[in-house]
Amino acid sequence: MEKYTKYEKARILGARALQLSMNAPFLLSIPKEKLEEISFDPLKIAEIEFNAGILPITVKRPFPKREEIEKEEEEIEAEEIPEEPVAVEEKKEEKEERKKIVKEETETEEEVSEEEEGPVETEIE
């Protein structure tokens, strides 16, 4: 049987006790005298099942991250990445062309607005 921390054990027992309180079937055949002795307490039944080692509940423990391995993986990934495909380069060129067009349009709009306003007259005293 795997060793669990007290928190993991509490979580497992609580989850199984909840299942039992919702009329889940017992995973062990417990004599009626024993059930009456523990007053059909779902937590105690869950504990009996836990101690028997038959609960189908597992605990996932994340492994700590190691920076060295991550750096090596990033270097490997950087080497494996191929150059940008042609389609992507074409799209970039199209975007640059659109930016130039928009820039030219805004410049012409500014010139037109200046012509409409006419020269600015200033009064000198």
Domain ranges of the chain: 6-52, 85-114
pTM value is 0.49
**CB-based contacts of 27-31 (< 8 A; 24+ apart in sequence):** 27/52, 27/54, 27/55, 27/56, 28/52, 28/54
Per-residue pLDDT band for 86 (boundaries 50, 70, 90) equals low
Could you read off the pLDDT of 11-70 as tens digits, one per residue? 999 999 999 999 999 999 999 999 999 999 999 999 999 999 999 888 888 877 766 666
Is it true that domain 6-52 has CATH number 3.90.940? yes
